[in-house]
């Protein structure tokens, strides 16, 4: 049987032949919980009387807030430490760095292996040809207790990267070019495989950058077939590996060619990682700050690229440059090789290894009206603060820090742009049925409709990351849609039993469980969307929160209309007109979990 990379890995970890659409239990080689999700994993384990299947394969990684600068983060981290000591679980504490990078560099998993984490960018493991998946708190608790989780085998897409990029193009520009092609949902629910001479020639650090933005395209994961150098790196780290490569006649749901011939530096404009243009189109935009780091561009080669531009230069007056290596080992290497000296002499602020700007309360956040160039992977409104965030490569970011405006490394002006007094300048403001009780749950739901007519509503819009430390579901409802313009009053207006109808790729972005639980907190009886973000869909199903895939864009539904939905058949009826529409009925697994009241509930 001819298989793609993901099919080979899942088959090898499930002990059976697999095809796209199959739902199988997958053995997990490395099971990780981070500091913001870890306390909830502990809570789930303890409340349900679960054990830990294999402590040697189970880890905490404290990468969201290495300083413990927020009291709730500090409390959650200590909960995890205490649990780890009692159960013999490994802890990569606040001094170590980003968990997914540690998993690669510390040999927790190798090519052909499997990993799950409460990190929506766990699919970075595709950089070494391993299967990594971000999951919610209940999924991770289940994996810790059982060593395996259920998973639906996704279809695969072959992505051929052709051409010779221009001399200034970097791996970040390559992946932004892919994002420009696929958009926010072009890989929704699929596993991509990158192929081509450009891909084959990438270093491990470049591969990490390429793999890190699968989530922003809606993908389950994107694989880069491991090179000899990658395999050797993993073996030297102590990882056991059985590299998986697609068979020559493997079956793909599609093949896409990405043209990178002559590619020049790119940038994603604020608000949408897929709004990608050449840097030249936004060149000259005055900036306030620059952030270099994140799981996408916090590797040593990224630090070297930035240092090469900063050496002998100074950050523009009034501009703040923040640099955060991905791991402490990279930080130490920067120190040993003199890069820290370069950064400090240029006027940069250097932070502890970790996720930095992608996590609230850490180095790299910006404020209202602030314009930032970031090497991160997301620039959704509110994700890295309340200002504007442009996504770019380390080279473009460093060059912009020196210039005081957005430029490429080859176009740094002799004199930097400076801020001029402008008392009249406008200041940017802040952007503005059936319950879910467990047991004997109805398969028909009737309720009043709320139509949120938006695509790509990400989890920061649903439930902002500044509330991630909240663990009590009863408290979560009040924050629902607090970062979605025009819907901030939703918690005040919605009533128990109401139904939410929305667009495609709902719940894209982060793996946070709260973005599901906030609807349960409000008593929302059902969420119907054209499609769901892959992690969000799992989180909802596992929480027993009723969700259904259905396209109601042509239904004429308005806020306040009543509908009746049969979860077992997918039939949706507009009660006033009697018109019916089709949705996707619950799968057997979804119905079983729903009737139990959640994955971890006792059925």
CA separation for the pair 109, 104 (Å, rounded): 6
Mean local confidence (pLDDT), 353-366: 78
- Identify the helix (H) or strand (E) that includes residue 372: strand 371-374
Higher pLDDT, 422 or 431: 422
DSSP H stretches of helix in 371-504? 394-403, 459-462, 473-476, 490-493
Q: How far is CA 163 from the centre of its chain?
A: 29
Domains parsed from the chain with CATH numbers: 5-259 (3.30.499.10), 266-411 (3.30.499.10), 444-596 (3.20.19.10)
Q: CA-to-CA distance for 510 and 533, rounded, in angstroms?
A: 9
Element (H, E) at 145: helix 137-146
> Residue range 198-219: average pLDDT?
97
Q: How far is CA 347 from CA 153, 316, 350, 351, in A?
A: 48, 9, 10, 13
At 517-535, the pLDDT tens digits run: 999 999 999 999 999 999 9
pTM of the predicted model, to two decimals?
0.86
Taking all residues of the chain, what is their mean pLDDT, rounded to a whole number?
Answer: 94
Which helix H or strand E contains 276, and what residues bound it? strand 276-278
Whether the Cβ atoms of residue 315 and residue 284 lie closer than 8 Å to each other? no
Q: How many helices (H) and strands (E) does the chain have?
A: 20, 25
Write out pLDDT tens, residues 475-506: 999 999 999 999 999 999 999 999 999 999 99
Half-sphere exposure of 450 (CA within 13 A, CB side): 22
pLDDT given for residue 427 in this prediction: 47
* Interval 241-268 mean pLDDT: 97
Distance CA 532, CA 494 (A): 21
Contact 223, 4 (CB under 8 A): no
Least Cα distance to 398 among 311, 336, 523 occurs for: 311
- The per-residue pLDDT for 471 is 87
Cα Rg of the chain (Å, integer): 23
Q: Provide long-range contacts, Cβ within 8 A and 24+ apart, for 575-580.
A: 575/446, 579/555
Q: What is the mean pLDDT of residues 301-314?
A: 98
Across the strands, what pairs with 116? 31, 133
């Amino acid at each position: 049987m001819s298989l793609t990379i993901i099919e080979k890995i899942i088959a090898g970890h499930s002990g059976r032949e697999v095809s796209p659409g199959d739902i199988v239990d997958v053995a997990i080689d490395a099971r990780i919980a981070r500091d913001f999700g870890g306390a909830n994993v502990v809570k789930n384990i303890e409340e349900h009387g679960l054990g830990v299947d294999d402590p040697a394969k189970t880890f905490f990684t404290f990468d969201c807030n290495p300083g413990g600068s927020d009291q709730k983060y500090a409390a959650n981290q200590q909960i995890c430490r205490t649990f780890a000591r009692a159960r013999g679980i490994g802890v990569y504490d606040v001094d170590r760095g980003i968990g997914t990078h540690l998993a690669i560099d510390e040999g927790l998993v190798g090519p052909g292996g499997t990993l799950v984490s409460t990190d929506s960018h766990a699919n970075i493991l595709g950089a070494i040809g391993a299967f990594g998946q971000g999951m919610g708190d209940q999924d991770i608790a289940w994996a810790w207790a059982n060593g395996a989780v259920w998973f639906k085998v996704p279809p695969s897409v072959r992505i051929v990267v052709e051409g010779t990029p221009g001399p200034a193009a970097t791996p970040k520009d390559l992946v932004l070019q892919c994002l420009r092609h696929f958009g926010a949902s072009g890989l929704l629910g699929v596993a991509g495989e990158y192929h081509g001479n450009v891909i084959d020639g990438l270093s491990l650090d470049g591969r990490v950058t390429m793999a890190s933005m699968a989530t922003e395209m809606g993908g389950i994961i994107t694989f880069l077939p491991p090179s000899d150098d990658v395999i050797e790196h993993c073996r030297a780290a102590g990882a056991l590996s059985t590299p998986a490569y697609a068979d020559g006649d493997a079956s793909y749901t599609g093949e896409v060619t990405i043209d990178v011939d002559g590619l020049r530096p790119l940038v994603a404009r604020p608000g949408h990682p897929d709004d990608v243009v050449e840097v030249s189109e936004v060149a000259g935009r005055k900036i306030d700050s620059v952030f270099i780091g994140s799981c996408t561009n916090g590797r040593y080669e990224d630090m070297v690229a930035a240092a090469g531009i900063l050496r002998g230069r100074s950050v523009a007056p009034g501009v703040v440059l923040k640099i955060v290596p991905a791991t402490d080992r990279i930080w130490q290497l920067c120190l040993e090789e003199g890069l820290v000296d370069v950064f400090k002499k240029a006027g940069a602020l250097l932070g502890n290894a970790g996720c930095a700007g992608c996590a609230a309360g850490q180095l790299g956040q910006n404020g209202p009206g602030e314009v930032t160039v970031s090497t991160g992977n997301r620039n959704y409104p509110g994700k890295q603060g309340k200002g504007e965030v442009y996504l770019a490569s380390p080279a473009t970011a460093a060059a912009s820090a020196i210039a005081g405006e957005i430029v490429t490394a080859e176009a740094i002006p002799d004199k930097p742009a400076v801020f001029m007094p402008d008392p009249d300048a406008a200041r940017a403001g802040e952007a503005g049925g059936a319950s879910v009780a467990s047991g004997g749950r109805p398969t028909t739901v009737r309720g009043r409709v709320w139509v949120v007519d938006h695509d790509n509503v990400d989890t920061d819009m649903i439930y902002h990351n500044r509330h991630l430390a909240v663990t009590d579901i009863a408290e979560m409802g009040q924050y629902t849609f607090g970062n979605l313009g025009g819907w901030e009053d939703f918690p005040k207006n919605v009533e128990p039993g109401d139904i939410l109808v929305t667009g495609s790729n709902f719940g894209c972005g982060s793996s946070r469980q709260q973005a599901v639980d906030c609807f349960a907190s409000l008593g929302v009886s059902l969420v119907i969307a054209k499609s769901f973000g892959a992690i969000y869909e799992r989180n909802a199903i596992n929480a027993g929160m009723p969700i259904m895939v259905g396209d109601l864009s042509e239904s004429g539904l308005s806020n306040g209309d009543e509908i009746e939905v049969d979860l077992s058949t997918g039939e949706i009826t507009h009660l006033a007109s009697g018109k019916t529409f089709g949705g996707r009925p619950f799968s057997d697994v979804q119905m079983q979990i729903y009737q139990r009241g959640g994955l971890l509930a006792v059925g």
